Structure 1
Amino acid sequence: MTLPPDELRHLRVLRLRPGDRLRVFDGRGQEAEAVLERLDEGGALLRLGEAVQGNRETPQPVTLAVALLKGDKLSDVVRAATELGVARVQLLQTRFSDVPDIGEQKLIRLRRIAAEASKQSRRAVVPEVLAPVPLLQLPLGGQQAFVAHPGSAERLSERLDWSLPVLLVSGPEGGFSDAEVAALTAGGCVGVTLGPRILRAETAPLALLGAIAALGV
């Protein structure tokens, strides 16, 4: 198979040369051994070998629904969330979101960051990064849903059951409004604590995912 020029940066960061072995993946879970045959400005030629059965995913897919954040905070969250095993990132518009919406180019950049983070963490799956939707349109059925909420006494470790997919909901810097919390709770979303300290909006989703990753090992 041939890799296009835009894939060369990662090969060069790894200092790969013709004859070196590596693994390739399709972003949907399939993985295979390969040997680098040629590497130049025009691209890279790989000779594919046997398929590999990877085992780097959580027992059930995990979706992170995270409020829109300003600056590069969303980029940092998507990158770290990919490393922590998330299957999907659903961006949310909430009452107190730092920004009301993001453009198409920002969404494309976030998807590229997810792909790069998958390579770095040696995952065979590239998480979806979905365009923002209003919080009240977030589907909650058919999965376990948890929301990081400072007022909760519930612990994620005591409520998590790997028989269903998992949805984690995390809010903006200003938190969720009372109406938003009530709507999430009415839809079956369980409020969970992240400890006695108040975490920043870009830290809370990663704390949730870190707990999920540890419980899913």
Structure 2
Amino acid sequence: MPHRYFTKELADGRAALTGSDAHHLADVMRAKLGEEVVLCGPDGLEYIGTVTRLASDRVEFTVTDGAPSKAEPDVQVTLFAAYPKQGKLEEVIRHCVELGIHEVVPFFSRYCIAAPKKEDAKCERYNRIAAEASKQAGRAMLPAVRMPLPDFNAVCDRMKDYDLVLFFYEGGGVPLREVLKPGCARKIAIITGSEGGFSTEEAAAAKAAGAVTVGLGPRILRCETAPLTALTAVMLLTGNLE
């Protein structure tokens, strides 16, 4: 299987890799002129790139026409995840990218145990983790991890940007199978809580902002398990695990 790289430098039948990706392909993988790799551009399409120039700091290619990736779902799912403690968010991001997430937006809610600290540096690391997971999963886009939102009101303000918002509440709600089916929505947001869950006021605010309150069954899931379960269910019920 050809190696996979992401690049923003792709236009008019030509492309290039620079920086660490160029070094990896030229010096670590010891690519040769004429070798083919898979290139993914900002448009989310896949291209076959043929190496035409090799250097440690820059590799150039000619490319085929772009084609849609079979690894990308036909729904754009954003995860709003209440900030967990002790680095659990890294694993949530990694596995959600493998499952097809489009974007991850952490946030701080009333019962979050974690507190904001060095979020700029953390966000850079989270995006590196997302990029590595995207390559491993054979995806054609780099899901973005955003800077955390300061409170649940900020999450509610974002709900208008989606066709469907699913608020996963430990108090239960509408069964997912009654809400989701193939083609039901293009942009879906899922909201999951922290170790402390959500307050009744936050649950009421989510409903008032247009979210559909849903549950994940009678068992209590950990805050790092709930996002993966929710995303898997969304992908399955929208036909994106077939």
Alignment match, 2:64 = 49
Equivalent in the alignment of 1:94: 109
What is the rounded CA distance, in whole Å, between the counterparts of 1:9 and 1:212 in structure 2?
38
SS in 1 for 2:96: helix
Post-superposition offset of 1:8:
5.2
Out of 43-52 and 176-185, give the one that drifted further.
Answer: 43-52
Distance 1:63 1:43, change over 3 A: same
1:129 aligns with 2:151: no
Cα distance in 2 between the residues matched to 1:37 and 1:93: 48
Q: Aligned match of 2:73 in 24, 33, 58?
A: 58
From the superposition, tell whether residues 34 and 174 of structure 1 become closer, same or farther in structure 2 (CA, over 3 Å): same
Q: 2:234 aligns with which of 205, 208, 212?
A: 212
Provide structure 2 residue ranges, at least 5 long, that are not aligned to the other structure.
Answer: 1-14
**Is 2:205 aligned against 1:186?**
no
Q: Distance in 1 between matches of 2:199 and 2:133?
A: 32
Q: Which residue of 1 aligns with 2:217?
A: 195
Does structure 2 conserve the Cα–Cα contact (< 8 Å) formed by 1:33 and 1:52? Answer: no
User: How many aligned positions are there?
Assistant: 216
1:13-40 superposed Cα distances (whole Å, 9 cap, x missing partner): x957424422111244122111345666
After TM superposition, list the pairs within 5 Å mapping 1:30-179 onto structure 2. Answer: 30-36=45-51, 41-102=56-117, 103-133=119-149, 134-138=151-155, 139-141=158-160, 142-161=162-181, 162-164=183-185, 165-179=187-201
| Distance of 1:98 and 1:59 partners within structure 2 | 35
2:114 counterpart letter in structure 1: V
The answer for the alignment partner of 2:36 in structure 1 is: 21
Measure how far apart 1:144 and its partner are: 0.9
Change beyond 3 A, Cα 1:24–1:169: same
Question: Which of residues 14, 21, 25 in structure 2 aligns to 1:7?
Answer: 21
Kept after mapping to 2: 8 A contact 1:147/1:170: yes
* Contact map agreement 1:28 1:126 (CA 8 A) in 2: no
Mapped to 1, the partners of 2:136 and 2:51 lie a distance apart of 18
Task: State the distance in 2 between where 1:180 and 1:126 align.
Answer: 31
- TM-superposed deviation, 1:65: 0.3
CA contact (8 A) 1:3 1:45 kept: yes
SS for the counterpart of 2:135 is helix
TM-score, with length taken from structure 1: 0.87
Deviation at 1:157, TM superposition (A): 2.1
Structure 1 gaps, min length 5 = none
- Whole-Å Cα distance in 1 between the matches of residues 177 and 52 of structure 2? 47
8 A Cα contact 1:5 1:44, kept in partner: no
Structural RMSD (CA): 2.4
